[in-house]
Structures are given as structure tokens and as C-alpha cells.
Amino acid sequence: MDFAVVRGVSYVLVHAPSMLVHMGTTQTVEREANPDSDYLKELPKHLRSYSECMAYPPNQTYIGNITPDELGNIPRPWHENPLAKASRAGARGEIMPEDEFYALMKIVDSFDLVVLEEGFTAQVAAELSKDSVWIEGDRERLGAGAPISQIEELVSSGRAEGLYIGDKLVGCVKAAHERDKNLTAHVMAENLAAKASGTLALRHLVAKSGIDAADIDYIIECSEEACGDMNQRGGGNFAKAIGEMAGCVNASGCDVRGFCAAPAHAMVNAAGLVQSQVFKNVAVVGGGATAKLGMNGRDHVKKGLPLLEDVLGGFAVLVSANDGKSPIIRTDAVGRHKIGSGSSPQAVMTAIVVDPLERVGLSLKEVDKYSAEMQNPEITEPAGAGDVPTSNLKMIAALAVKRGEIARGDMGTFVKKHGMPGFAPTQGHVPSGVPSLGYLCDEISAGRIERAQIIGKGSLFLGRMTNLFDGISFLIQKNPGKCGSRDGAAAAGMAGVSEHELRKIMADALRGAAQTLVES
């Protein structure tokens, strides 16, 4: 039985400076506790324009216009070295401006919760860019808007969350229930932003992968939001809600949650479903998190930096049956942090990086690239969290030294060769492994690398249910050809294996994927 393949990847960003001010958790908590704080007064001076956001090198890396290697050659600080030829449209997606995103939130709203001012609606309708992925029926769903007096009354009465462009109120999101705390205006704004950005990513995936949206069988949504009501707080289903807005009329789906590790869990689930022939085409989708906007804002303002956490991030991945050419997902090399693995950095990395490679007879040096927690260091370093991707690679290098694979003096070379600079926005789930998938698939398909390991890590203790850590990984590798080919078996590292033995290996891999599905 064939491994599943990564057939397509899309990445989108939404520049959302006004949402940062009004919906980012750091700012909303500060406003409630100390509305006259110096931080809130200073905040507007550190907001970036759309053009500044668009020209920021990590953002251009995220949407696929430059590679991580090219980013690494740009001097830091990156915010002082904007790209001269930056583009809204990316090889794998786009960077959408805030006004158009409000229009998209209205378009994906199924319960008339989003109200946009009539003048603003007319303006944004005329400006809807051909670079984006607007589809038939969007303009009709956008409507004509409402008088500003109606919006002002909804916001001032506390029945709606305001939508702003700078200081100007241009719309609102209404509460979906009078008393349900899970359907407040603020929560509905969060959820609709996740739905809209997820829809944007899925539409780009369909457009760029060449698949008919109707051929997607299943959708797994893996953001950090939870839609539900007072009786089932996280009941879902973002997956089907997003699929509906992307034309996936034949798809079903569900939501997978696992804090920052959720995308990697979702990818393993998708690979297992495709490999077992339950579905042929599975889309893994993640929308953005408004709560994370400006999360480290205090430290950025204190150090005179622009507010770099001003984008919502989204992505979508198409996992399909083996086409004989796209990189395969080796479900026989899935790593997982078990309940009994231990929570020290060494224990975590051993469980999710070393153990799965050992299982398939690979050394740490034989993985060309590792992608783990790809946060942009210009965001994390001012907040005291350091360069997270580099720290992960140093830990992997240390394990290679411990195992006798490299000399201690070669750690720096190992980190440079097998790592990448971080470029993803701190959107929780977004940085954890998957931002590099598109680039790594290109490198594998071009023959520049053989394989890469995608690593998702998560902090389960944030939910106050357990102190356990979380992590899961999977290996992507050059496609050896469809199952049944001896050349294909050899290319996958199984030379000399009989047909009977090959079938047994694949069956064991499938059982491993199924076990991972149960445990995740």
C-alpha cells in the first residue's frame, strides 16, 4: 500500500493592525486592567503600514516569494531591510490588507453577525483585488452595508465588537446569543476571523494545487480556536464551515486541537486516512488567531520596535493518494511524545526526533532539514524567548553528539546545514513545523534534498488539565514511485526487501499511523 503524498501547500497572511489594538489578548487585558496605561498610549506609534508589513522579509518568505535560505542572507534586523520588490501575491498565497479581510469576514458569515458600514462596503467592494481568490457569489454575500448610526449603537450598547480601520469604526460583529458566554461578540469575532483566514488559505490551495474543490473528500481544521455554545464549548465544526466557503461540496471533516502541535497531529491523521484508502484527498487547514496579535507587544514597544505581531496567519495542505511524484509522508517514521516520555528537553526531542528515525534505520545526519517551531526570532528575542528554531536545532545537534554521529566541534555546522531561520508569525499553531512544508517539498522535488522531518510541539499545561508536554513529528521524503515497483522500494531505503516483506512493512506502518490517530 502506498504512502500518502503532500500534493499542495498554501500560506496566507492578513495584515490586521486595528484588530491587534482592539482584539489582541495582551491589549484587551491591559485595557480592562489599566485603560490609561502608557503602553496603550504608546501603541499606535509602533503600528506598521500595509506596505511595511508586505515588504517585511519573513512575511515574503512565509508566502513563498523568497526561500528561507535567501532570508538568512538578508542582514538583521529584517524590519530595517525591507524587500524592494515585495509583492502582495505570493507563490503560495498572499498578504491581504485589513479592509478586504473585513469584507471576507462578512462574506463567510452565515448568521448575519458581521455588519459593515455602507460607505466602507461600497469602497471595499470596488477595491477587491484580482490578486486574491474571490469567487462567484462573494459580492452578493457582501451586501450593501448599514448606516454608521446602527453600528455605533450596537457597539456602544455592548452588543457588538467594533471593527476599525485606524481610529475609524467601519463595522462590527454582533453577539450570537443574549446570555451564552461562548457566543459573545468578542468570541464570534475571533471565530469568524479564524474561519475567514482558513477559507482564504483553502481557496488558495485549490487554486494553486490544480485540484477541483469538489474532489476534496475530507477536511481537518487545526487552529487554536473553538466554536461551540454553552452546552458544548468546543463542539466545532470549523472544517465544514471553511469547506463550504471554498466550494468543497463533497467533503466532510472535523476539527483537531492540540495547541501548537495540532497541525502536525492533523497531518498524521490525514496521512493515515489517505494511506488506508478511507479518503483520497484530505485538506489540512488552519486559520489565524486574533488573540495572538500583539502578544509580545509590551516588549516590542519598550524596545522601540514595530509591532511585528500584526498579521493573522493561515495555511492549507493537500494530502493525497500517491501520484508517483509528490513527496511522500512516511507513516512508519512518525514520532510521538508519549505520556510516559518525560518533559525534559532531551526527553522530548528523543521521543519525537530520534526514536522514529531509529525505527526506520536513519541517523540524525541523514535527515537533510528539520522544521520545528519556526517562530520569527525578531519577535521572540525581544521578549526573552530567544531564537526558538536555532535552539531546537542545537538540541538535535547535541543528541547527535551524544549518539556519536558528529563531533562536538561540528555542532555549529550541523545546525547551519540542517536548520533554517525562523520566519513564521507567532500565531500559536502556525509556526510548529508546517510553515516550511512548501519550501521543503520544492527542495525534495528538485532533488536538492532527500528528506525532512516536520516537528510539532505543544504546551498542554496551558489548558490547566495536565502538566504534560506534547509533540509529534513525521518524515517527508522523495517519492520512490508507486507501490509494487522494486525501484521504488529501493529508493525508499528498502532495497532487497521481498514483495511479501514490503507488504508487511507497509502494514506495520499503517497500524502505527492508526495507533497515532487514537493517541492524538
The predicted structure's pLDDT at residue 513: 47
Query: Which H, E and C letters describe 440-507, residue by residue?
Result: HHHHHHCCCCCEEEEEEEEEHHHHCCCCCEEEEEEEEECCCCCCCCHHHHHHCCCCCCCHHHHHHHHH
User: How many other C-beta atoms lie within 10 A of the C-beta of residue 135?
Assistant: 16
Percent pLDDT > 90 in the chain is 88
Question: Any bridge partners for residue 227, and if so which?
Answer: none
162 vs 114: CA distance, rounded Å: 10
Q: What is the pLDDT of residues 107-116, one digit of tens each?
A: 999 999 999 9
Buried b (16+ CB within 10 A) or exposed e, 237-246: bbbbbbbbbb
Residue range 379-407: mean pLDDT, rounded: 97
Tell me the pLDDT band of 486, cut-offs 50, 70 and 90.
Answer: very low
Q: Quick one: which H or E segment has residue 98? A: helix 98-107
The predicted structure's pLDDT at residue 130: 75
Strands 114-116 and 218-221, by their bridges, are unpaired
Q: What is the pLDDT of residues 6-64, one digit of tens each?
A: 999 999 999 999 999 999 999 999 999 999 999 999 999 999 999 999 999 999 999 99
Question: Any bridge partners for residue 161, and if so which?
Answer: 173
Reference 510, options 333, 361, 331; nearest CA is: 331
How many CA atoms, within 13 angstroms, populate the side-chain half-sphere of residue 276? Answer: 17
DSSP three-state, residue 34: coil
The predicted structure's pLDDT at residue 510: 54
DSSP three-state, residue 129: coil
400 vs 367: CA distance, rounded Å: 12
The predicted structure's pLDDT at residue 391: 96
Mean pLDDT lowest among 30-39, 62-71, 125-134, 161-170: 125-134
DSSP three-state, residue 93: strand
The predicted structure's pLDDT at residue 60: 98
- Rounded to the nearest integer, the mean pLDDT of the chain is 93
What does the block give as the cell for 326?
Answer: 509528490
Could you write out the DSSP letters of every residue in 152-166? HHHHHTTSEEEEEET
What does the block give as the cell for 248?
Answer: 468543497
- Residue with the three cell numbers 519556526: 374
For residues 129 and 238, the model is more confident at 238
- List domains and CATH numbers for the chain: 5-320 (no CATH), 328-519 (3.40.47)
Tell me the pLDDT band of 494, cut-offs 50, 70 and 90.
Answer: very low
The predicted structure's pLDDT at residue 498: 45
Residue range 90-101: mean pLDDT, rounded: 97
Task: Quote the pTM value.
Answer: 0.92
222 vs 232: CA distance, rounded Å: 18
Tell me the pLDDT band of 128, cut-offs 50, 70 and 90.
Answer: confident
Does residue 424 surpass a pLDDT of 80?
A: yes
The predicted structure's pLDDT at residue 86: 97
The predicted structure's pLDDT at residue 488: 42
167 vs 31: CA distance, rounded Å: 16
The predicted structure's pLDDT at residue 341: 94
Percent pLDDT > 70 in the chain is 92
The predicted structure's pLDDT at residue 506: 55
Q: What is the pLDDT of residues 316-339, one digit of tens each?
A: 999 999 999 999 999 999 999 999
The predicted structure's pLDDT at residue 495: 39
Phi, psi of 197, rounded to the nearest 5 degrees: -70, -35
Burial of 228 (0-12, 13-18, 19+ CB in 10 A): middle
Q: Quick one: which H or E segment has residue 187? A: helix 185-209
- Give the E-state strand segments of 101-197 in sequence order: 114-116, 160-165, 168-174
The predicted structure's pLDDT at residue 517: 42
Tell me the pLDDT band of 503, cut-offs 50, 70 and 90.
Answer: low
The predicted structure's pLDDT at residue 491: 46
Q: Could you tell me the CA-to-CA distances from 428 to 164, 295, 306, 386, 497 in Å, in that order?
A: 24, 10, 20, 16, 42
What does the block give as the cell for 164?
Answer: 476599525
Does residue 282 surpass a pLDDT of 60?
A: yes
Identity of the amino acid at 400:
A
Find all residues with CB under 8 Å of 4, minimum gap 6, and list them.
270, 271, 274, 275, 319, 320, 321, 322, 328, 329, 331
Tell me the pLDDT band of 507, cut-offs 50, 70 and 90.
Answer: low
Mean pLDDT lowest among 113-127, 381-395, 426-440, 499-513: 499-513
The predicted structure's pLDDT at residue 122: 96
Does residue 439 surpass a pLDDT of 60?
A: yes
Strands 451-459 and 469-477, by their bridges, are antiparallel
What does the block give as the cell for 25?
Answer: 489578548
65 vs 73: CA distance, rounded Å: 15
The predicted structure's pLDDT at residue 490: 42
- Residue with the three cell numbers 479564524: 194
Does residue 171 surpass a pLDDT of 90?
A: yes
For residues 466 and 433, the model is more confident at 466
